């Protein structure tokens, strides 16, 4: 191939005839290249302009999937609240299935400059359920009863196990639920309390000895000795707490599940799920987690007409029932999530919830735990 004086590209035919034919001129080639660059540049520019919108849609889809997955997990756990506590025909319904911590901040918990939320913005909920791998046992002791306001409680061995084998099923840090045999919620005989083991159980005189924090004389606990917060209010005479449990009563090892928001990384609040001492992240970029409950109203024989988002304001008729989670019959959980905040100065979108540079979605569920009494 060679160039002639007219700047035309010449080529020789493949038939060997030696005939020279004119090809594209250099000018034509340059024009074609310029057109190609213009079209390609235009297409690339359009692509770049549309890419942020495509990313926003993908982020929205991912956020929606995250919300649904988190709520599905929470719903599956909540519907089983109180499971495993039904230890026999003499305990027809679970006395407590959930414990709710409502944070009601008096000052703003949101920093509009950094778009961050503090821990006081979020509620938490613990689902009270029995550890199904450990059989329930009967309380026992001097005079066939044991008291929880001392540093040690005693119990019989589990059916089919020795006292030593029973003791081996417990360890320091376990939380136990003591439950009166009448667990129907219908009469004054219903009493319960909870303790946290401070050491490894031992065996003495054929009984299992459980070292634990001492409860109050009425079965109440401090917050440090009741991580679930189900027995921390001892001021209410109607709270069904007690401190003495006998051979017809039960001791149940709990396997609670706690949902709360971890704000240790203020740029990415995470909804977490903790069970058996293991914490897993359920959803990232959570900016709202609130838990409300309807409670049983004995005076009108109906449920309260609205969801209450402050457990300290539970009222049964005219009676103060603060933190009395035995009355909880329905739970409403609201969850708000956001896409990852944008740091691009050209990103001008601001949501109408907190004016942050991200998109938000919310989801709410209502759950009636099937192990709780629905009609007392």
Amino acid 56: pLDDT: 67
Could you tell me if residue 16 is inside a domain?
no
| Mean pLDDT of the region 7-36 | 64
Inter-residue contact 121 to 109 (CB < 8 Å): yes
Could you tell me if residue 17 is inside a domain?
no
| Mean pLDDT of the region 336-365 | 89
The pLDDT > 70 percentage for the chain reads 80
Final residue of a domain: which of 192, 226, 255? Answer: 255
CA 108 to chain centre: 23
Could you tell me if residue 236 is inside a domain?
yes
Report the DSSP pairing between strands 116-117 and 110-111: antiparallel
Task: Tell me the average pLDDT of the chain.
Answer: 82
Name the region of 122 (left: φ>0; alpha: ψ -120 to 50; beta: rest): beta
User: Which pLDDT band holds residue 189 (cuts at 50, 70, 90)?
Assistant: low
> DSSP letter at 147?
E
102: closest CA among 291, 363, 232?
291
**Same-domain pairing of 120 and 134:** no
Looking at the predicted structure, is the pLDDT value of residue 375 above 70? no
Reported as a single tens digit per residue, the pLDDT across 268-295 is: 999 999 988 899 999 999 999 999 998 8
pTM: 0.77
DSSP states along 265-313: STTS-EEEEEETTEEEEEESSEEEEEEEEEEEETTTTEE-SS-BS-GGG
Amino acid 222: pLDDT: 84
Looking at the predicted structure, is the pLDDT value of residue 14 above 80? no
The pLDDT > 90 percentage for the chain reads 40
**Same-domain pairing of 222 and 292:** no
The answer to which of 16-20, 102-106, 282-286, 334-338 has the lowest mean pLDDT is 16-20
Reported as a single tens digit per residue, the pLDDT across 75-129 is: 999 988 877 665 554 555 567 789 999 999 888 899 988 889 999 999 999 998 8
| Mean pLDDT of the region 175-180 | 89
**Same-domain pairing of 78 and 140:** no
| Mean pLDDT of the region 368-372 | 73
**Same-domain pairing of 156 and 72:** no
Looking at the predicted structure, is the pLDDT value of residue 13 above 70? no
Could you tell me if residue 7 is inside a domain?
no
**105 vs 212, higher pLDDT:** 212
Amino acid 234: pLDDT: 63
**332 vs 91, higher pLDDT:** 332
Could you tell me if residue 19 is inside a domain?
no
Distance CA 295, CA 177 (A): 22
> DSSP letter at 144?
G
Could you tell me if residue 295 is inside a domain?
yes
**Same-domain pairing of 279 and 373:** yes
Range of the domain at 329: 24-124+267-376
Reported as a single tens digit per residue, the pLDDT across 232-259 is: 876 666 667 888 999 988 899 998 999 9
Q: Provide the domain count of the chain.
A: 2
Could you tell me if residue 110 is inside a domain?
yes
**Same-domain pairing of 62 and 151:** no
Looking at the predicted structure, is the pLDDT value of residue 53 above 70? no
**237 vs 366, higher pLDDT:** 366
Final residue of a domain: which of 221, 255, 289? Answer: 255
The answer to which of 6-15, 29-38, 54-63, 203-212 has the lowest mean pLDDT is 6-15
Q: Which two tokens stand for residue 342?
A: 């944008």
**Same-domain pairing of 216 and 273:** no
Distance CA 279, CA 148 (A): 30
Amino acid 21: pLDDT: 57
Amino acid 236: pLDDT: 63
Could you tell me if residue 12 is inside a domain?
no
Of these ranges, 2-16, 183-197, 204-218, the one predicted with the greatest mean pLDDT is: 204-218
Final residue of a domain: which of 255, 288, 312? Answer: 255
């Amino acid at each position: 191939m060679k160039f002639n004086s007219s700047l035309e590209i010449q080529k020789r035919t493949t038939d060997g005839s030696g005939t020279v034919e004119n090809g594209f001129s250099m000018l034509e080639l340059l024009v074609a290249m310029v057109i190609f660059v213009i079209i390609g540049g235009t297409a690339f520019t359009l692509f770049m302009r549309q890419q942020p919108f495509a990313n926003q849609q993908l982020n929205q889809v991912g956020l929606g999937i995250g919300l649904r997955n988190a709520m599905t997990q929470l719903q599956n756990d909540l519907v089983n609240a109180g499971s495993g506590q039904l230890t026999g025909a003499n305990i027809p319904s679970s006395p407590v299935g959930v414990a709710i911590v409502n944070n009601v901040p008096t000052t703003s918990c949101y920093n509009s400059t950094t778009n961050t939320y503090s821990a006081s913005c979020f509620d938490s909920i613990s689902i009270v359920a029995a550890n199904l791998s450990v059989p329930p046992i009967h309380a026992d002791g001097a005079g066939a009863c044991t008291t929880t306001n001392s540093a040690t409680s005693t119990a019989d061995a589990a059916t089919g196990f020795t006292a030593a084998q029973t003791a081996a099923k417990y360890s320091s840090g376990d939380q136990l639920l003591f439950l009166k045999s009448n667990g129907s919620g219908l009469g004054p005989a219903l009493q319960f309390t909870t303790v946290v083991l401070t050491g490894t159980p031992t065996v003495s005189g054929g009984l299992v000895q459980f070292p634990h924090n001492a409860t109050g004389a009425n079965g109440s606990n401090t917050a440090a000795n009741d991580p679930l917060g189900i027995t921390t209010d001892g001021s209410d005479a109607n709270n069904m707490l007690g401190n003495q449990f006998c051979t017809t009563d039960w001791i149940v090892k709990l396997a609670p599940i706690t949902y709360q928001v971890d704000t240790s990384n203020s740029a990415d609040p995470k909804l977490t799920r903790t069970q058996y001492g293991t914490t897993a992240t359920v959803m990232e970029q959570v900016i709202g987690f609130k838990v409300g409950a309807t409670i049983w109203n004995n005076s009108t024989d109906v449920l309260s007409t609205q969801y209450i988002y402050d457990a300290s304001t539970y009222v049964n008729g005219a009676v103060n029932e603060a933190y009395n989670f035995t009355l909880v019959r329905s739970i409403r959980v609201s969850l708000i999530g956001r896409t990852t905040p944008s740091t691009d100065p050209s990103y001008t979108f601001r949501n109408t919830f907190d004016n942050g540079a991200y998109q938000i979605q919310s989801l709410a569920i209502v759950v009636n735990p099937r192990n709780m009494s629905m009609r007392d």
